[in-house]
Each structure stands twice: as structure tokens, then as C-alpha cells.
Amino acid sequence: MNYLIKNADLVNIDDLTTEETDILIEGNRIAKIGNGLSCQEAETIDAKGMLALPGFIDCHTHMAQSFIKGPLDDIPITEWLIRLFAIDAKMDEEIYYYATLLGCLESLRFGTTCINEMGDTAHIPEQVRAIADAGIRATYGVSTTDVPENDATPILSIPEALAYHQKVLDTVNAEGKGLIRASVAPAGLPAVSGELAKACKRFADEHGLIYHTHLGEGRQETENVAKAYGLNGEAEALAELGVLDKNVLLAHSIWLSDHEIDLIKEYGAYPVHCPNTNLKISDGIPKIAQMLKKGIPVTIGCDGEASSSNRDMIREARCGAYLQKGVTLDPTVMDASTALKMMTINGAQALGYDDLGLIREGYRADLILADMSNDLGLTDRKHRVSNLIYCGDGHAVDTVFVNGELKLRNKKLVGFDEKKIIEKCNDLIDKLNEAVEA
């Protein structure tokens, strides 16, 4: 199916100006941008007054946690992690499928067209099937661990861990429908030995995959790693292990020395800012402003809802921007244009795409239309783009295309009965809560 989007206000993400134009989508690509376009074989979408933006790219997610929003509120990170593993152990195949599906559908609803998912070694086929059924673009890997960070950490041998990464690759190749790419996603050095980290990186490089990991999230855990390696922190350790390079995404990146920020810049790795999690479970505040000033292309991630309670990239970006402004006493850091780049083009680059993250002829057709005309809180035609970031949220998103396919129209998911999905998920969440309490 081809689509002709008429009279949309195309956003320039550098200066936040807009220009009314038509956008023709042919197959999975943006074929043409210009005024007065016509195409007889295309379905026409009237986008008069709507903003056209690249789809958002969420660079750190744990989708199955969409069923664990609430039970782990307001507790310290160590206890949080132990209880998370306990709940996870009660999640069967059906729960994993629907929890992952729900997370993906929430993302689409809020304008996210691509995710970087760190899933679980349990139920890999169900997770891949859920992502594929949702029809969201994804890079998907599973978290592996071989060091007991706490009593609940699953301990794998290196061959066992690599077998899981191989299973991800095989499952994605067989069932990813061309929209999913595999990654290697060891949890993070507090729970991953140097040997496993190196083995994972070798596997990733052999297969041309992204290496996705947590970095410097908990202060105590980071100090433990630093002490064990005789270094200043986890980024120094990754550099020494030969893991750090431009194919590496580093979720959180909080507890870093200035030298480690320089290392990230030097090696070209991509930090993922997850501010809602950092604040809600009191991890700490990363030096994002400093990274941005050095020209590091920081990305944004909503993380898992067990920690962030959020799957809306607009709310995530706003939280991050306000946080950095507040701690630096500098309102110019992480301005609205920078936030928008972190939500789009930076994420595309981090995930290895050179034709994603912008609305441009020839690029993959992942784009959204935001309708702010009926929102009392979003009036002011001139400042719509910054208002979307600073006072809007994902509910403003009206239309979503992923790979040229219509996924959301008139603020409703296409191809899914939202009411049925919500009922089914509520029933399964009740079942999960009962199993955990039993």
C-alpha cells in the first residue's frame, strides 16, 4: 500500500520551524516530499495542521515489564532487582507474549516506531513473536549474567550465555519479518564477568550485531566493579576489555568519571539516557549535559516500566531535559531541538541505520503525525514543536507509520482491538499477581 500525506507541517529538527508539504510513501520508503504531489495508487491522508515528525526511537526497553508497573514502586534498587527476578520467574509463555505485545503497542500508541529491546532468556520465541505481531521496528537481544550481583542473579556458563545469543539470532532471522534485528545484550559488569563481556563482543562482531548493556547504573555496584578491576569505573573496564566501540549502547551511564566520558567520546559508543528510571529508583543523575557539550550523540530510553513506569518518549525526553537544566543551572542544555534529535536521529545512528530517524526522500518510512488542534493545553501555532516536548505527551500522536505500514490512525491502533487487548492483559496481570502472592 502507498500513502500520500497531504499538507502536513514537516518539522525541521534543527530549528524547530515547520513547512507545509506533502509526503509520498511508496512501499517501505519515503518516496517524495514536496507541494502538490499526487498519486493515484496511494491512499490519501489529510494532515492539514498536523506536525510530521520522524518516529521516536526508544534505545533501551524491557517490554515484558509492562506487566510489572506498580508492584515495585518506591523501593531501593537492590530489593527492587531481587523482587523483579521473583516476579519474572512466575511469568509463563502466554504472559511473556502479552506483556511484550502490550509494551510494543503502548510504544506505537505514543509515536515510538523503533525500540532497542533487552529481553529475557526465558521465552525468546514468544518475545520475538510479540514484537513481530506488533509490527514495531526493533533491535532485540536478551540479558545474560554470570556473576552473582545478588541472591537472585541467574548464573550462566559462557557457552550457555552464547547459546542464548545464538537462539536470539536464529529466532530473529526466522521470525523477525525483516523488521527485527538481533543484538547481544549482557546485563552489565556488576553481573557479567570480563570473560563473558569479551565473548559477547566477539559474538556481536562476528555477526555484525549491536552490543547493548547497562553501564554505571547503581553507585555501589559501580564502585564494586571499579575495585575489582583496579580502575575508576565500568566504562574504563569495558575499554580495557576491548568492548567499547561505535556499535555499543550504554544504558544509564550515570556513575562515570570525566575521563570515562572522554573514553565514550573517543570510542564512539552511545549512552542511553533513562531519566525516569534514574529518578524513580534513585540511581543518580548522569552527566548528560557534559556529554552533549562534548558532542556525544546521546540517545533516550524509557527502560522497563517496573522502574520508569513510563513508555512515552515525549515524557521521557522532557524529564531528561528538565533534570539536566536543573542540576546544571543552565536552561540552554538539552534544548527542545537537542531532545528531539536524541529521540530520533541519534537513536537511528546508534542502532546502525543510515536511512532512519529523519523524514527524507529515500529514507525508511517510519514517521508520525501529531495532532494538537483539539488540546486546550497545546494552543499556539508558532511554538508547537517545543510545546509538544515541554507540555505535550504521546497522546498528541494521531498517526504512526512503521516501514510504510499504517500502525495508528486517528489515535487508534490499526489491526488491534485495544479494548480486547486491555481486558486480556488485565486478566493476565491479575493471574501473575496471584502467582507472586501465593
- Residues forming contacts to Zn ion in the complex (CB under 5 A) are 303
In sign, the C-alpha dihedral spanning 238, 243, 246, 247 is: negative
Which residue lies nearer to Zn ion by CB, 303 or 312?
A: 303
Which residue lies nearer to Zn ion by CB, 276 or 346?
A: 276
Contacts of 321 (CB under 8 A, 6+ apart): 334, 335, 336, 338, 339, 389, 390
- 223 in Cβ contact with 237 (< 8 Å): no
Which residue lies nearer to Zn ion by CB, 123 or 212?
A: 212
Contacts of 204 (CB under 8 A, 6+ apart): 183, 184, 210, 211, 247
Burial of 45: CB neighbours in 10 Å, binned 0-12, 13-18, 19+: buried
CB of 51 to Zn ion, least distance (A): 30
CB of 272 to Zn ion, least distance (A): 9
CB of 215 to Zn ion, least distance (A): 10
CA atoms of 285 and 230, how far apart (whole Å): 24
Q: What is the 3-state secondary structure (H, E, C) of 139-170?
A: EEEECCCCCCCCCCCCCCCHHHHHHHHHHHHH
CB of 118 to Zn ion, least distance (A): 6
CB of 435 to Zn ion, least distance (A): 23
CB of 307 to Zn ion, least distance (A): 7
- By beta carbon distance, the residue nearest Zn ion is 303
Task: Cell numbers for 46, please give them.
Answer: 489529510
**Which residue shows C-alpha cell 509492562?**
66
Which residue lies nearer to Zn ion by CB, 62 or 181?
A: 62
CB of 63 to Zn ion, least distance (A): 11
CB of 101 to Zn ion, least distance (A): 19
CB of 273 to Zn ion, least distance (A): 12
Which residue lies nearer to Zn ion by CB, 303 or 398?
A: 303
Which residue lies nearer to Zn ion by CB, 4 or 274?
A: 274
Which residue lies nearer to Zn ion by CB, 196 or 370?
A: 196
CA atoms of 330 and 318, how far apart (whole Å): 15
Which residue lies nearer to Zn ion by CB, 303 or 316?
A: 303
CA atoms of 74 and 138, how far apart (whole Å): 30
CA atoms of 214 and 260, how far apart (whole Å): 15
Burial of 347: CB neighbours in 10 Å, binned 0-12, 13-18, 19+: buried
Alpha helix (H) residue ranges in 39-157: 77-88, 93-109, 124-134
Contacts of 202 (CB under 8 A, 6+ apart): none
- 102 in Cβ contact with 67 (< 8 Å): yes
**Which residue shows C-alpha cell 510489572?**
68
Which residue lies nearer to Zn ion by CB, 304 or 357?
A: 304
